């Protein structure tokens, strides 16, 4: 049986082929079993760094974190620290290193500076990267400093309110490598959304194990059984785009097809109705009507709040469009909020990664207008967007308060990582519910094969 005949769900069979909701044409990525050494080997980790991380467009952050000139944040990946800052000429990025003796120049994670002063000998630089002042300049031989050393630039571009950097000195244009259709990310107006929580936690697995766990809904019934009453799993639509990008549409507000009771409006479904601004106690329908009711409720609420939802398909109002951007990002897209998760490699250990998540909310004058429950915001988080919270950092031993679902994943992934080490394990065997994993690996191998 080939992949064309394996039955997988289509969320909206009536979606026009050019609509963003339409099932994408099948891509044959083969059936290869990849060498498991890629999850442990330091050589492989170095090859990923040299050929992939340092040559790819990477999501460094979001535009709304840099509203004013002089605003900056640091993007840290492995041993590199990169300053991303808004200058008079737009958003720019520089290696966070002083050209004098190599000191890390900026130490604060974010802030506002028009001038960067090095903590070692106080050379200073404008936020445009130009050398501003050399301390005791007359004590230098002119040949040493006549090139007026400034900060080394990093390629930087923005798309749909998201800031990308690329350490390649001559990268292909961002839009050529993104892979997603025009209008896809733009629809969410992420440039208007505000970060309400940012967490960076360390997990005990290779970064690819993280990507893989979040690229499929196959494990929901086993690892997150509590989701069965409120979301689909077997009936998820998986789509592959060029350059390793992919998407899954997870229908929310309906029971999984794996469970028998498709009628009872459970507490979980009631909470989802409530979340959409619907009085759940007066709801007359069955479980099968909840998803549609959520869509209608959200359309009505948007109208009341003066928000234009005409650009969204009905499914975008209820479902999770989990969108993968190669190499290391998944964006959970909803009109009210997006959840940007980045899987960042550890500095030295191939069996650890950083799970970096930002929850952004669209500003609206309604107390119920919140990120969906699955994003796991703890009680008491300020969702007004008025104050950019500091990034919360958690070590591998600490509880990052990611909510039930994500805590289940963080507990499981080290077990997967360890199991893969076994002599008895020969390599991963992916089904078509895991087609995004294979698509990701095909692209990764393609990049690693490039000289």
Contact residues for ligand FES, defined by CB under 6 A: 98, 100-101, 103, 118, 120-121, 123
Q: How far apart are CA 278 and CA 183, in angstroms?
A: 29
Cβ of residue 224: shortest distance to Fe ion, in angstroms?
Answer: 6
C-beta of 22 vs 105, nearer to ligand FES: 105
With CB under 5 to 8 Å by kind, the binding choice for 48 among Fe ion, ligand FES, none is none
Find tokens 């992916």 and name the residue.
430
For residue 442, the tally of other CB atoms under 10 A from its CB is 16
C-beta of 233 vs 275, nearer to Fe ion: 233
With CB under 5 to 8 Å by kind, the binding choice for 434 among Fe ion, ligand FES, none is none
Alpha helices for 167-286 (secondary structure H): 174-178, 207-214, 220-223, 267-275
Q: How far apart are CA 186 and CA 188, in angstroms?
A: 5
Q: DSSP assignment, residue 50?
A: I
Cβ of residue 97: shortest distance to ligand FES, in angstroms?
Answer: 9
Cβ of residue 152: shortest distance to ligand FES, in angstroms?
Answer: 13
With CB under 5 to 8 Å by kind, the binding choice for 413 among Fe ion, ligand FES, none is none
For residue 253, the tally of other CB atoms under 10 A from its CB is 24
C-beta of 100 vs 301, nearer to ligand FES: 100
Find tokens 């900026």 and name the residue.
106
With CB under 5 to 8 Å by kind, the binding choice for 123 among ligand FES, Fe ion, none is ligand FES
C-beta of 98 vs 333, nearer to ligand FES: 98
Cβ of residue 356: shortest distance to Fe ion, in angstroms?
Answer: 17
Sequence-separated (6 or more) residues with CB below 8 Å from residue 445: 34
With CB under 5 to 8 Å by kind, the binding choice for 409 among ligand FES, Fe ion, none is Fe ion
For residue 437, give both structure tokens.
Answer: 């994993």
Residue 362's alpha-carbon distances to 135, 353, 379, in angstroms, are 46, 29, 19
Q: Name beta bridge partners: 249.
A: 237, 321
- Of all residues in the shown chain, the one whose CB is closest to Fe ion is 409
Cβ of residue 156: shortest distance to ligand FES, in angstroms?
Answer: 23
For residue 346, give both structure tokens.
Answer: 């550890």
Contacts to Fe ion from residues 384-413, by CB under 5 A: 409
For residue 436, the tally of other CB atoms under 10 A from its CB is 26
Q: In what order do the strands lie in the sheet with 124-126?
A: 115-117, 124-126, 131-133
Find tokens 């494990």 and name the residue.
219
C-beta of 79 vs 308, nearer to ligand FES: 79
Cis status of the peptide bond prior to 327, with omega within 30 of 0: yes
Cβ of residue 28: shortest distance to Fe ion, in angstroms?
Answer: 27
Residue 292's alpha-carbon distances to 161, 282, 315, in angstroms, are 30, 16, 9
Q: DSSP assignment, residue 48?
A: I
Cβ of residue 99: shortest distance to ligand FES, in angstroms?
Answer: 8
Sequence-separated (6 or more) residues with CB below 8 Å from residue 95: 80, 81, 82, 83, 151, 152, 153, 154
With CB under 5 to 8 Å by kind, the binding choice for 98 among ligand FES, Fe ion, none is ligand FES
Cβ of residue 139: shortest distance to ligand FES, in angstroms?
Answer: 13
C-beta of 106 vs 180, nearer to ligand FES: 106
C-beta of 149 vs 403, nearer to ligand FES: 149
Query: Using CA of residue 397, residue 403, residue 409, residue 412, what is the dihedral sign?
Result: positive
> Rounded to 5 degrees, what are φ and ψ at 162?
-110, 140
C-beta of 90 vs 119, nearer to ligand FES: 119
Q: Checking DSSP bridges between strand 392-394 and strand 115-117, what pairing results, if any?
A: unpaired
C-beta of 216 vs 275, nearer to Fe ion: 216
With CB under 5 to 8 Å by kind, the binding choice for 148 among Fe ion, ligand FES, none is none
For residue 189, give both structure tokens.
Answer: 């107006």
Cβ of residue 150: shortest distance to ligand FES, in angstroms?
Answer: 12
Site for Fe ion contains 434 (CB under 5 A): no
C-beta of 123 vs 241, nearer to ligand FES: 123
C-beta of 239 vs 409, nearer to Fe ion: 409
Site for Fe ion contains 216 (CB under 5 A): no
Query: Using CA of residue 88, residue 93, residue 95, residue 96, what is the dihedral sign?
Result: positive
With CB under 5 to 8 Å by kind, the binding choice for 218 among Fe ion, ligand FES, none is none
With CB under 5 to 8 Å by kind, the binding choice for 42 among ligand FES, Fe ion, none is none
Cβ of residue 407: shortest distance to Fe ion, in angstroms?
Answer: 10
Cβ of residue 76: shortest distance to ligand FES, in angstroms?
Answer: 19
Residues near Fe ion, by CB under 5 A: 409
């Amino acid at each position: 049986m080939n992949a064309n005949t394996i039955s997988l769900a289509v969320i909206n069979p009536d979606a026009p082929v050019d609509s963003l909701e339409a099932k994408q044409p099948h891509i044959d990525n083969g059936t290869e079993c990849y060498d498991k050494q890629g999850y442990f080997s330091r050589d492989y980790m170095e090859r990923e760094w040299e050929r992939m991380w340092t040559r790819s467009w990477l999501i460094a952050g979001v535009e709304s974190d840099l509203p004013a000139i002089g605003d900056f944040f640091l993007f840290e990946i492995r041993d590199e620290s990169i300053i991303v800052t808004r200058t008079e000429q737009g958003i720019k990025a520089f290696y966070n290193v002083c050209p004098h003796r190599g000191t890390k120049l900026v130490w604060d994670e974010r802030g506002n500076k028009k001038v960067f002063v090095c903590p070692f000998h106080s050379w200073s630089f404008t936020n445009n990267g130009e050398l501003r002042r050399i301390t005791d300049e007359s004590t230098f031989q002119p040949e040493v400093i006549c090139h007026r050393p400034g900060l080394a630039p990093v390629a930087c571009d923005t798309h749909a309110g998201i800031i990308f950097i690329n350490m390649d000195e001559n990268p292909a244009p961002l839009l050529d490598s993104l892979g997603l259709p025009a209008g896809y990310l733009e629809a969410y107006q992420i440039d208007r959304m505000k970060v309400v929580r940012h967490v960076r936690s360390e997990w005990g697995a290779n970064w690819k194990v993280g990507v893989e766990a979040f690229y499929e809904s196959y494990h929901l019934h086993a690892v997150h059984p509590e989701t069965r009453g409120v979301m689909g799993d077997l009936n998820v639509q998986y789509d592959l785009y060029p350059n390793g990008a992919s998407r899954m549409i997870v229908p929310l507000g309906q029971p999984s097809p794996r469970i028998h009771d498709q009628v009872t409006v459970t507490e979980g479904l009631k909470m989802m109705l409530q979340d959409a601004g619907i009085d759940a106690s007066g709801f007359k329908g069955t479980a099968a009507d909840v998803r549609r009711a959520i869509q209608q409720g959200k359309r009505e609420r948007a109208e009341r709040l003066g928000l234009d939802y005409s650009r969204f398909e009905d499914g975008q109002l209820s479902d999770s469009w989990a969108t993968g951007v190669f190499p290391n990002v998944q964006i959970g897209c909803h009109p009210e909020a997006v959840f940007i998760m980045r899987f960042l490699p550890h500095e030295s250990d191939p069996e650890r990664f950083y799970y970096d998540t930002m929850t952004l909310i669209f500003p609206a004058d309604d107390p119920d207008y919140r990120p969906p429950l699955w994003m796991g915001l703890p009680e008491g988080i300020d969702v007004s967007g008025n104050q950019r919270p500091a990034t919360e950092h958690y070590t591998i031993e600490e509880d990052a308060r990611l909510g039930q679902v994500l805590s289940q994943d963080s507990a499981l992934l080290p077990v997967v990582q360890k199991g893969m080490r076994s002599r008895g394990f020969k390599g991963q065997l992916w089904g078509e519910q895991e087609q995004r994993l294979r698509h990701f690996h095909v692209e990764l191998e393609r990049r690693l094969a490039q000289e």
